[in-house]
Structure 1
Amino acid sequence: MLKKLEIDALKADIASIDAMLTSRTADDDPIGHFQYSARRDELLSSLQRIGNAPETHAEVGLFFGGAPVQGARGIYADFAGQVLDDYQALVSKRYCSREIGQLGTRGPVPQSGNSQLMITGTLRGSFGFVLEEAGSNNEILETPLMEVVEEISEILSRVGAEDETIFDEAASILDERTLVTLKQFFQKLDDGGATLRVVQGAHDFLLDRQSISLARARIQALEIEDQTTTYTGTLFLLPDSRRFDFYIPNDDGLRVIMKGTVSQAVIRQLEGQPEIGQAPIDARSIPQGPWRVEIRTREIRERNRAPRKVHTLIRLVNRADVT
């Protein structure tokens, strides 16, 4: 079972036992009070053990509701197969984008074998599936695929949010291939009259019919165009929040400020990559001198909205002298 669902179930059982213990005392029912107290201690111990267990591999629960689902009995096979296939494609394309950079507009998705998820269980209460990372679950550190599944959860939660700013954050990390699959994903959910609850790590959110229709309309109307440019200027990084500010001097002696998100490739540069002979970079030292960097500027266009641009820092090229 998913860690969050296990924790929620244990907390519910503890709350139920607490209510029973409140309604009786050791004097009124000594045997019952002892048994319930012992059971409560067992549940608390399990809760602590599960809560302290690290999450290092990809795992997600997808609960479907609405027209394709017949209570707790089951879900239409053609609908479930198509939506799960689209979800896997989202994960594979995002994984490829993170690992090798910009994904080509056509052709096979490289390294798709490294991003495969397995169906390891079904979930009741509507009808859902547990998807887990293929391979060993004995990793000590978080796997790259776990980080990708977390990103997909964030994207799905944001594209259906009423706040346009939250939607823009999701649009800023999409590439063209992922956008195509995302359109198919929400179209199938919307046409099928479905709802979707996603449980993954700390994420637990519901895409209801209104959210799915909104997400579909936004994604269908979305067009993106990328341009990568090399700049020289003063850079300020916040690695934990993955944000940056970049100051570029212009001909008038003023400074142009670019703000945006930091790519995973830059995070790797900061951490160091011994396999290519690159030492770690202290983010606190970066503002001490000018840097030459690559920034991807994405123009997002939607119907009935003015075009807007979002920036992503994709590479630290090298330190540079001010010219």
Structure 2
Amino acid sequence: MNRNEYLHAAAEVSFLEKEIAKAGLSKLTIMSLKSRIQRTKSLLEEHSENSYQPAKVTLTYRGSPVWGTQGVLAEFGASATEAFSEAVAMIAASISGTLKDKGRIPKRSSNQLLITGAALGSFGFQLEEAPAERQLDLEGTTPVSQAIDLIAELLEATTKSDEELSEPVSRLADRAITAVADFLGKLSSYEASCSLITRTKKFQFVDSEQVRRSKERLSLDNIKETIEAFTGEFIGALPDKRTFEFKTADGHVIYGSIKRDVPNPNTINQHLYRSFKITVNAKRIGNSKPRYILQALPWGQAD
């Protein structure tokens, strides 16, 4: 049973429980409904690993603020962990498409992290997504869960090529990237490094010098952003992943993501192989190839 099947089964139980509460049902119908409810609940229990669980991350520190086996400077531990939490909240808002260049972080109270314990065998913390009313996506994840995985992916990518770094960077607003750079800046100012362990990833900086270089690579001065226009035709789109393919008039095929606030991306598949002019945001890291983000759907602008 995958996550979608689990969600469908859970919804079925809810529907059946409402049905059985209705007046006027025969004994036979009630027995049948109870049997279906019990079978479905048993199935859900067998596959409980697909139920929602809060995201978790273990964040540990190394370097000058860590005093041997005795402890870590409280001032550093508090400020660095706060900066990490801020970066996760920024990324969560960016993923949701609600992060603006200035102002409060949207849904900050829903994107909090709790310190649930000390990291065993090292100096750091076990962090967990705070309980909140939240909307899961089709895969049963939340913006915080995605943000934790993405920050781990981003930090690792800062130690790799421009091409590899450009992929996670292209999925984030500048303000979220700056928040991650600020976290790295906090580490660097104390000559510290860190490691992250999530459910899906494990990453560790070699030393504080590598942290410093990673911070520089996330500087907005190193991220070139331009607005470009292409004439051609859409040849496909994946609405759930918010990605598209577009063949330009000269035969070149470009791939990109669709901006979060663009509604109904599935309509692209209803306008394939027709001539349009599209406007995209192109992001480049150093010498990497551009990553394109479709800013709006061009319907009504057909040539």
TM superposition score category, shorter chain reference: 0.5 to 0.7
Does the 8 Å contact 1:186/1:215 carry over to 2? yes
Aligned counterpart for 1:312 among listed residues 290, 293, 296: 293
- Matching residue of 2:184: 186
Change in Cα spacing, 1:181 to 1:247, as seen in structure 2 (3 Å) is: same
> What is the CA–CA distance in structure 1 between the aligned matches of 2:105 and 2:149, rounded to whole Å?
20
Deviation (angstroms), 1:170: 2.8
Does the 8 Å contact 1:293/1:315 carry over to 2? no
Change in Cα spacing, 1:247 to 1:218, as seen in structure 2 (3 Å) is: same
Unaligned runs of 5+ in 2: 1-45
Deviation (angstroms), 1:99: 2.3
- Report the TM-score when normalising by structure 1: 0.64
1:105 aligns with 2:126: no
1:297 aligns with 2:275: no
> What is the CA–CA distance in structure 2 between the aligned matches of 1:203 and 1:257, rounded to whole Å?
32
CA displacement, residues 39-87 of structure 1 (integer Å, 9 cap, x when unaligned): xxxxxxxxxx999565632211111112111234321111112211211
> What is the CA–CA distance in structure 2 between the aligned matches of 1:315 and 1:265, rounded to whole Å?
9
Instruction: Identify the range of structure 1 (120-129 vs 69-78) with the bigger mean alpha-carbon deviation.
Output: 69-78
Does the 8 Å contact 1:86/1:184 carry over to 2? yes
> What is the CA–CA distance in structure 2 between the aligned matches of 1:71 and 1:139, rounded to whole Å?
43
Does the 8 Å contact 1:293/1:313 carry over to 2? no
- Matching residue of 1:144: 143
> What is the CA–CA distance in structure 2 between the aligned matches of 1:52 and 1:147, rounded to whole Å?
18
- Matching residue of 1:91: 88
> What is the CA–CA distance in structure 1 between the aligned matches of 2:180 and 2:218, rounded to whole Å?
7
Aligned counterpart for 1:260 among listed residues 248, 256, 261: 256
Deviation (angstroms), 1:286: 5.7
- Report the TM-score when normalising by structure 2: 0.68
> What is the CA–CA distance in structure 2 between the aligned matches of 1:158 and 1:62, rounded to whole Å?
17
Change in Cα spacing, 1:170 to 1:110, as seen in structure 2 (3 Å) is: same
- Matching residue of 2:37: none
Does the 8 Å contact 2:277/2:301 carry over to 1? no
Residue identity (%)? 22
Deviation (angstroms), 1:194: 1.6
Instruction: Identify the range of structure 1 (64-73 vs 289-298) with the bigger mean alpha-carbon deviation.
Output: 289-298
Deviation (angstroms), 1:129: 0.7
Instruction: Identify the range of structure 1 (112-121 vs 85-94) with the bigger mean alpha-carbon deviation.
Output: 85-94
Change in Cα spacing, 1:164 to 1:50, as seen in structure 2 (3 Å) is: farther
> What is the CA–CA distance in structure 2 between the aligned matches of 1:207 and 1:321, rounded to whole Å?
48
CA RMSD across the alignment: 3.6
- Which residues in structure 2 correspond to 1:109-258 (within 5 Å)? 109-135=105-131, 141-161=140-160, 163-209=161-207, 210-220=209-219, 221-225=221-225, 227=227, 233-237=233-237, 244-249=244-249, 254-258=250-254
1:74 aligns with 2:71: yes
Change in Cα spacing, 1:69 to 1:291, as seen in structure 2 (3 Å) is: farther
Unaligned runs of 5+ in 1: 1-48, 271-280
> What is the CA–CA distance in structure 2 between the aligned matches of 1:113 and 1:92, rounded to whole Å?
9
SS at match of 2:96: helix
SS at match of 2:218: helix
- Amino acid in the other structure paired with 1:160: T
> What is the CA–CA distance in structure 2 between the aligned matches of 1:167 and 1:197, rounded to whole Å?
18
Does the 8 Å contact 2:163/2:285 carry over to 1? no
Deviation (angstroms), 1:259: 2.2
> What is the CA–CA distance in structure 2 between the aligned matches of 1:264 and 1:201, rounded to whole Å?
26
> What is the CA–CA distance in structure 2 between the aligned matches of 1:291 and 1:88, rounded to whole Å?
45
Instruction: Identify the range of structure 1 (286-295 vs 207-216) with the bigger mean alpha-carbon deviation.
Output: 286-295
Count of matched residue positions in the alignment of Structure 1 and Structure 2: 253
> What is the CA–CA distance in structure 1 between the aligned matches of 2:124 and 2:47, rounded to whole Å?
22
> What is the CA–CA distance in structure 1 between the aligned matches of 2:94 and 2:134, rounded to whole Å?
25
